[in-house]
Amino acid sequence: MFALLSQQKRDFYFNYLTLETIRDYFAACLKQETPDDIKSAIFNELLERFNSRQLTYSKCKSLMGDEFPWPGSKLFAFSFFVMRELDGKSRVKFEEILAGDTKMSESNRKDFPSFETVLENTVFILSYVKAIDIERYIRKLR
């Protein structure tokens, strides 16, 4: 979307897709009788988390990286967020490393995804992007 659409169209579609995704998540996970104040709090938390991650992704210099998805690539950042959610890691200062602006030291390497994890996530994502031919659909959005 970043390469094929204008900033205005990207913003429009990202906003639309974000809200629809959260609504679908609600429909799948929350009971209909869940109180509105709880739904509202969860909705706001999900939207805030999504916006925060989009900001992180926007600081990354590429989707894939030069030779391999490593710090500075969106795929490395994605792998970090997945690992953090699944492993419950609570690292707070990660933005500079994910953006590729700060080197990852040996002492904090354990808080970031391994080479194998990043490779596995990259293959998974790129195979789906290719399988659904997403570029064709994005071109239609213009």
To which residue do tokens 């913003």 refer? 11
Q: pLDDT tens digit string along 49-74? A: 888 888 898 899 888 877 788 899 99
Whether residues 24 and 74 fall in one domain: no
Query: How distant, in Å, are the alpha carbons of 47, 69, 83, 107 from that of 110?
Result: 28, 17, 11, 7
- Quote the domain boundaries for residue 5: 1-59
| CB neighbour list of residue 25: distance below 8 Å, 6 or more residues apart | 46
With both helix axes pointing from N to C terminus, report the angle between 7-29 and 36-59 in degrees, rounded to the nearest 10.
140
pLDDT for the residue numbered 79: 93
- Within this chain, do residues 116 and 82 fall inside the same structural domain, yes or no? yes
Task: Give the per-residue pLDDT at 73.
Answer: 92
pLDDT tens digits, one per residue of 99-108 = 989 888 888 8
If asked whether residues 66 and 101 sit together in one domain, one would say yes
- What total of structural domains would you count in the chain? 2
Do 48 and 93 lie in one domain? The reply is no
Instruction: Please tell me whether residues 7 and 46 are part of one structural domain.
Output: yes
pLDDT in tens, 11-53: 888 889 889 998 898 888 988 899 999 989 999 999 998 888 8
